Structure 1
Amino acid sequence: MENSANNKLVLVTGGTGFVAIECIKQLLEKGYQVRTTLRSLKRKDEIIESLKASGILTFYNLTFIETDLLTDKNWDKAVEGCDYVLHVASPIHLEIPKDENEMIKPAVEGTLRVLKAARDAGVKRVVMTSNFGAVGYSHADKSKVITEENWTNPNEKGLSAYNKSKVMAEKAAWEFIKNEGRDLQLSVINPVGIFGPAYSAKLSSGFELLKKILDGSMKAIPNITISIVDVRDLADLHIKAMTNEAANAQRFLALSDGVMTLPDIAIFFKKQLGEQGNKISTKRLPDWVVKIAALFNSQAKALVPMLSKYRDSSNEKARKVLDWQPRSKEEALLATVESLFKYNF
């Protein structure tokens, strides 16, 4: 337990989420008091059960409050007395909306709602979870790696409504801090694909992708490149950005070294898993097949903008400024697989 954490209260938004659970776990282990938001208090036990599975045994430092990013209700109570806020939550959309503003508007308004409440309550710093989609989707110079200096153009052709919402929300956050933030500090974390151990059978979107490779339902693997970060390292980076003075007014890319293609991942699993990997296909799906399928299939259509996407990015800033030491992408992937088998995917 860190002495500096004693009596420090941290609000974690969206407590049922994959990243939020890991943040709560690590904050409790470090001795912080934690308050987390839920859209319904009926899901409180879901968080407690996940934390128990992660090894947390006592919960006297954890409290819950019902709030929603789409309304003002209870945000003043949520941030009351807090030293820090980890704004991890994002509005949930089970389907891609016909109008992208249905996703963008709640993301932007929800972010501003949290920042205003934090400012008015005298919170020292908000650490906001953005994503790689706000950084690297307009990077054209393949001779240079992507860094925190890069920004995705929100009008980039083929940019998904989700990634556009992330760009717009992050830009709105920095604009708010500049013009209205007063003493409130902001740090932003921009993670890539998030993998690692899960503490329940609830699957994140990244897990669904690996599940399709493992169970053989992906008969041929599209040539999509991904970057990877372990959720344990991502939570650690949030906490480092929360407490390190040098993190104020900075954004940090969160990724393990290097990239992997989905076919690379399939081959890696095939080698590592023995009999457990006997359903895995290592057949590559040509780009032209995906593009033709996209004319008739919405899932294939969603893949087309990801084909041949350049993702070579640098984690040097987080390493140097915050002494961040991420696990390898292979370790993160194997931890994901272990969870998938544990919860009988």
Structure 2
Amino acid sequence: MPELVLVTGGSGYIAGWAVVELLRRGYDVRTTVRSADREHTVTEAVSSEVDPAGRLSFAICDLTSDEGWDDALKGVDRVLHMASPLGLSSDGPDAMIAAARGGTLRVLRAATAAGVRRVVMTSAANAASPSSYATEGVTDETLWTDPEDPTLIPYRRSKTFAERAAWEFIESHDGPTELTTVLPGAVFGPVLTPDTTGSVGIVGRMVSGRMSGVPRIGLEVVDVRDLVDVHLRAMTSPAAAGERFLATGEFLWMADMARTLREGLGEHGRRVPTRQVPDVAIRLLARFRDPSLREITPALGRRNRHSTEKARILLDWQPRPARRTVLDCAESLIAHGAV
């Protein structure tokens, strides 16, 4: 019998690709969605890449509620916990932190009660970064972000608190369930559907011309397909038990991304902005006209990078070139009519 893998948040960008790849590799998959009306959307998206007939099932669960998690984990061999409650920052940073931490603990309690062999949790490279945005250099998984740093944006704090809570829970648990965490960078690549684009909206805004210029921000670009691959390696490798793995990719300034798109997309790249917006202009806009920019201003000019040597050595993981990922992302958005 094929192993049954639970993927949390099946309607999400990364989780959708995880469902696809698990089915390709012969696993049965159960995925959580917050409401039954999302089941058709997920099935349709997955079907664009692989036939899910008879091997994909659903569980109705919400990370902010205890209801349904025990049933969702029944008979499950392994878990990819990829869901994270986003869009809650309007309720204040404490609400986002509580939701991320509480959701992680709900999944782990149900998983350990069901005797799941291993849980692989998607954290973020921002949970293993120097607190100071001014810091340069290369860091690895031994570093933990200080969640009490008052300069951190709510998302960084929530991911750090959630991963900390996961490790503390497993350390206090005496059962057979193992934990591994994967810490990705900026996730791009092709989309399954124009309705679930995750972080690739940045590329969409560039290609559509909705950005008049690019800020001086650098991203460690990882392809969604490579990110799913490292999750599956971490799910099965004996060497991955009890380990954190950074899964970042090549460092690109947004200006580099823009040039790649402008040069690689031909006629479709004509609206991509190549002008770099001065840091002072971004800060002024954030202060007086667009408060949403305040969360990115600390990252202006920041060059801190992460080492993926651990994933390369222990999991034999090799991500593809970042520029290829950026182009694949844009071409997929164009093909889906999303730009």
* TM-score, normalised relative to structure 2: 0.95
Q: Note if contact 2:137-2:304 (Cα within 8 Å) is conserved in structure 1.
A: no
Matches within 5 A, 1:1-345: 6-54=1-49, 56-93=50-87, 96-138=89-131, 144-180=137-173, 182-256=175-249, 258-296=250-288, 297-344=290-337, 345=339
Distance apart, 1:99 and its partner CA: 2.1
SS of corresponding position for 1:327: coil
Q: Would the aligned equivalents of 2:135 and 2:304 in 1 still touch at CA under 8 Å? A: no
- Shift of residue 139 of structure 1? 6.0
Aligned AA for 1:39?
R
SS at match of 2:85: coil
Cα gap change, 1:206/1:58 in structure 2, threshold over 3 Å: closer, same or farther?
A: closer
The alignment partner of 2:287 has SS state of: coil
Write the deviation string for residues 21-52 of structure 1: whole angstroms up to 9, x where unpaired: 11111111111111111111111111111111
Give deviations 1:295-341, integer Å, cap 9, x for gaps: 11213222212212233221111111001121111121111101110
Does 139-148 or 291-300 show the bigger shift? 139-148
- 1:158 CA displacement: 2.6
Q: Which runs of 5+ in 1 are unaligned?
A: 1-5
Contact 1:226–1:311 (CA under 8 A) maintained in structure 2: no
- SS in structure 2 opposite 1:227? strand
Q: Which SS does the other structure have where 1:295 is aligned?
A: helix
Q: Deviations over 1:216-245 (max 9, x none)?
A: 221121100111111111111111101001
Structure 1 residue 74, shift from structure 2 partner: 1.3
Aligned partners of 1:321, 1:97: CA distance in 2, in Å? 40
Aligned length: 337
Q: Secondary structure of 1:222's partner?
A: coil
Q: Cα distance, 1:142 vs. partner?
A: 5.4
User: What CA distance in whole angstroms lies between the structure 2 residues aligned with 1:181 and 1:231?
Assistant: 34
Distance 1:119 1:58, change over 3 A: closer
SS of residue in 2 equivalent to 1:340? helix
- Three-state SS of the structure 2 residue aligned to 1:63 is strand
Q: Deviation above 3 Å: which 4+ runs of structure 1? A: 139-144
Contact kept, 8 Å, 2:183 with 2:244, in 1: the verdict is: yes
Per-residue CA distance 1:110-153 (angstroms, 9 max, x = gap)? 10010011001110110000011111142679564121111111
Relative to structure 1, the CA distance from residue 43 to residue 98 in structure 2 (aligned partners, 3 Å threshold; closer, same or farther) is closer
Cα distance between partner residues in 1 of 2:153 and 2:215: 18
Q: CA deviation at 1:203?
A: 4.2
Code of the residue aligned with 2:53 in structure 1: it is: F
User: How far apart, CA to CA, are the structure 1 residues paired with 2:137 and 2:224?
Assistant: 27
Residue segments in structure 2 that go unaligned for 5+ positions in a row: none
What is the aligned-residue RMSD (CA, Å)? 1.6
Whole-Å separation in 1 of the counterparts to 2:183 and 2:214:
27
| Alignment partners' CA distance in 1, 2:221 and 2:189 | 9
SS of the equivalent of 1:65 reads strand
1:69-115 deviations in Å (ceiling 9; x for gaps): 1111111111111110110111131x632521110101101100100
